[in-house]
Amino acid sequence: MLEKKFTIGCKQGFHLRPAQALMEVATGFSSSIIVKKDGSDNEADAKSILGLMSLGLDYNQSVTVVVEGDDEADALAAVEKLFLSNFGE
């Protein structure tokens, strides 16, 4: 199991476009990818766009991504690339 903390860098918060980008990347891996909203008990499966949207993540909100499975290192690297690029925004 791997985990890493990220900050939402999208000025409009974590809206539909970033959620869809994360979901599309996550579904390409067999590993479980969970996004946890820091400071609360809320978490979502990164392969569920509705789950991701239900987190209500705002600009500068911290999240922890937990990845577990056979391809966890590659999955976390792909997720990190999305966060570092601000989901292409």
Catalytic annotation, pick one of 3, 5, 7, 15: 15
Active site residue 15: yes
Long-range (24+ apart) CB contacts under 8 A made by 18-25 are: 18/82, 18/86, 18/87, 18/89, 19/49, 19/52, 19/53, 20/49, 21/82, 21/87, 21/88, 22/46, 22/52, 22/79, 22/82, 22/87, 23/47, 23/48, 23/49, 23/52, 25/78, 25/79, 25/82
Catalytic residue positions, numbered: 15
